[in-house]
C-alpha cells in the first residue's frame, strides 16, 4: 500500500523543529517539512510565495498541513496544486475568523511598529527577561523561532493581516485549541477543539494532534 505524503509548514518565523513531537505510523505516512524562504522582495505577493513553496513538493496529491501563518500558506498552496487534504492547526480559515484587534492593527497600520528587531536578535534582549517564565519563553523562541530575517518578518506580518480570503475552502480540517490566545476560539467555526490547547499546542499537545492527524488521514483512504 503506497504511503501518504504529508507536507508541513510551520508558524510565522518558526522553523520545522516545531513538528519534532508529531508521531505517525511510518508504514503509512511519510513526513516532509517545508522551511520558510526569504521573500524575493517586501512586495512579493502571498500567491507568488506559495508558488515557490509548491515547487518544493515532490509528490503528487499530498496532504498539506500548516500551523498558524503556515495554515494560511497551505491554503494558498492548495489553490495551486492538487492535494488530498488541507489541515490547519492554530490558524484561521478566512479573514472573518480574525480577532477584532487584527482589524484594528490593519487599519491603524500599527503592525509597522512590530518589534521585529527583538525577534531578529533575541540574544541581545535576554537580560530583560527577568523572571523564570519569561526566560523559558526566550529559550523557546531561540529554539523554535529561528527565522529572524527582518524582511521576512515584515513581509509575513503584512501578509497575515492583509489576507484576502473571505470564505473557507471546502473540506478543510481545522484543529484548534480552546485557549488559543492569538486566534480566540470564539471567532473560530467548525474546528476540532483541543481542551486547554494554546496557540503553541503543536509543542505540548503533539500526542493529541498526532492522533487527530492519523484519524483524519486514514479517513481519506
At 88-141, the pLDDT tens digits run 999 999 999 998 887 766 665 655 545 454 444 434 434 444 445 445 555 555
% of the chain exceeding 90 in pLDDT: 66
Burial class (CB in 10 A: 0-12, 13-18, 19+), 73: buried
Query: Under a CB-based contact definition with an 8 Å cutoff, are residues 161 and 183 in contact?
Result: no
Q: What is the pLDDT of residue 220?
A: 56
Host H or E run for residue 6: strand 4-9
Per-residue pLDDT band at 28 (split at 50, 70, 90): very high
User: Does the pLDDT value for residue 198 go beyond 60?
Assistant: yes
More confident site: 69 or 154 = 69
User: What grid cell was written down for 105?
Assistant: 492593527
Is the separation of the CB atoms in 79 and 150 below 8 Å? Answer: no
On the question of pLDDT at 81 being above 60, the answer is yes
Q: How confident is the model at residue 166 (pLDDT cuts 50, 70, 90)?
A: very high
Global model pTM greater than 0.75: yes
CB 93 within 8 A of CB 172: yes
Range from 72-76, 85-89, 106-110 carrying the lowest mean pLDDT: 106-110
Q: For 53-59, what is the mean pLDDT?
A: 97
The pLDDT of residue 100 is 85
Residue of 212 and 128 predicted with greater confidence? 212
Mean pLDDT of 53-63: 97
Amino acid at each position: 500500500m503506497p504511503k501518504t505524503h504529508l507536507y508541513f509548514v510551520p508558524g510565522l518565523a518558526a522553523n520545522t523543529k516545531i513538528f519534532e513531537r508529531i508521531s505517525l505510523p511510518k508504514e503509512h505516512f511519510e513526513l516532509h517539512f517545508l522551511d520558510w524562504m526569504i521573500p524575493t522582495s517586501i512586495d512579493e505577493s502571498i500567491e507568488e510565495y506559495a508558488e515557490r513553496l509548491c515547487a518544493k513538493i515532490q509528490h503528487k496529491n499530498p496532504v498539506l498541513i500548516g500551523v498558524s501563518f503556515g495554515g494560511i500558506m497551505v491554503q494558498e498552496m492548495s489553490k495551486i496544486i492538487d492535494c488530498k487534504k488541507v489541515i490547519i492547526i492554530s490558524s484561521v480559515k478566512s479573514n472573518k475568523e480574525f480577532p477584532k484587534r487584527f482589524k484594528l492593527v490593519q487599519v491603524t497600520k500599527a503592525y509597522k511598529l512590530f518589534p521585529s528587531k527583538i525577534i531578529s536578535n533575541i540574544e541581545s534582549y535576554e537580560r530583560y527577561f527577568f523572571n523564570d517564565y519569561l526566560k523559558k519563553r526566550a529559550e523557546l523562541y531561540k529554539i523554535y523561532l529561528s527565522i529572524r530575517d527582518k524582511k521576512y518578518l515584515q513581509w509575513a506580518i503584512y501578509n497575515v493581516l492583509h489576507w484576502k480570503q473571505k470564505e473557507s475552502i471546502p473540506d478543510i480540517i481545522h484543529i484548534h485549541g480552546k485557549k488559543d490566545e492569538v486566534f480566540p476560539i470564539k471567532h473560530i467555526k467548525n474546528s476540532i477543539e483541543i481542551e486547554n490547547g494554546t496557540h503553541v499546542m503543536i509543542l505540548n499537545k503533539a500526542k493529541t494532534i498526532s492522533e487527530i492527524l492519523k484519524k483524519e488521514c486514514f479517513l481519506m483512504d
